Amino acid sequence: MNNKTKENTDQQKLSTVFSGIAGEYFVAAELSRRGYIASITLRNTDGVDVLCANKQTTRSVGIQVKTNRGSNRSWLMNQKAEDYMSDNLFYIFVNLNDNLKPPEYFIVPSKIASKYVKESHSNWLEATGKNGKIHKDGNMRKFTDLKEDFLNRWDLLGL
């Protein structure tokens, strides 16, 4: 790998990392703007990126943030998402819209995201790929919200 290729790869990786960090900060800022107490967790906190509570601190939720740089309604997740669920755990999927317009937020209860990811991956495995080839199982999953059912559904947090 020459230096130019390595530099481009490093920039891509950084861009992905910074996109994820930006998503977490955008979510925390939006929650704060809406009057909630929001705190970004430390990097070693497993499965929760933002802790959020109502003003009275009588209800709190954990939030896992998934960010994409563009505007498509699709986010990559790993296999762990199939079983990672709780009544007070939510996913907030963020579109950064290539910095051409403000971010968009899709708020999804973890039980719904888990069920969707498990079922859609199972359907994908059962379907044949290009030239009739069987799909091989892997660790990656995908959540999509093409109909925008969860766009700005902050009410689902129940705070």
Q: Model's pTM, two decimal places?
A: 0.87
The domain in which residue 79 lies consists of 3-157
**Per-residue confidence (pLDDT) for residue 22, from 0 to 100:** 94
- Spatial contact of 97 and 73, defined as CB atoms under 8 Å apart: no
Cβ atoms of 41 and 49 within 8 Å: the answer is yes
Structurally, the chain folds into a number of domains equal to: 1
CATH number at residue 134: 3.40.1350.10
As a whole number of Å, the CA-based R_g of the chain is 17
Q: What average pLDDT does this structure show over 35-60?
A: 93
pLDDT, tens digit (0-9, with 9 covering 90-100), for 109-154 = 999 999 999 999 888 888 888 888 888 888 999 999 999 999 999 9
pLDDT of residue 144: 95
Per-residue tokens: 106:
């899709």
Residues 61-99 have pLDDT tens digits of 999 999 999 999 999 999 898 888 899 999 999 999 998
Residue 6 carries which side chain, given as an amino acid letter?
Answer: K
Instruction: Report yes or no: 94 and 103 within 8 Å, Cβ to Cβ.
Output: yes
